Amino acid sequence: MYPYISRDDSYYTNTDFMVLGIPLPDEVISSTEMGKLKLEYLAQRGIFLAPKSYVLCLEDDSCIMKNKGPTNDIVTSEWFQRVLVDRTLKKQLWSSYNFRID
């Protein structure tokens, strides 16, 4: 995977996911062949703020949002856009979780 994630058009990577600006050659893509890469989405745009914190807008106008941590249920694509414009943006949120001890 290193030859692909080290490219100038590699926008985001994690252990099993990469976002590239230029399509990969057809000979390295297959959803069934072992050792080849699977093309899962065709994206129009994306905002990548930090590891495991991104929004990826697809060609069918749907969006995939990932945000690690307790605010995962609170963030929206608009929030990602606001933070992209102003990285100093802060918002205090309160949350509570019921933990069960065995």
pLDDT digits (tens, 9 = 90+) for 63-81: 999 888 777 777 888 888 9
Same domain, 48 and 79: yes
pLDDT band (50, 70, 90) for residue 102: confident
Q: What is the mean pLDDT of the chain?
A: 87
End-to-end CA distance of the chain: 42
Rounded Cα–Cα distance for residues 44 and 85 (Å): 19
CA-closest candidate to residue 49, choices 4, 80, 7, 89:
80
Same domain, 83 and 47: yes
Residue 100 belongs to some domain of the structure = no
Identify how many contiguous H helices and E strands the chain contains and give both numbers: 2, 5
Range of the domain at 9: 1-39
The count of C-alpha atoms lying within 13 angstroms of the C-alpha of 80, restricted to the half-sphere facing its C-beta, is 21
* pTM, rounded to two decimals: 0.74
Tokens encoding 59: 């060609």
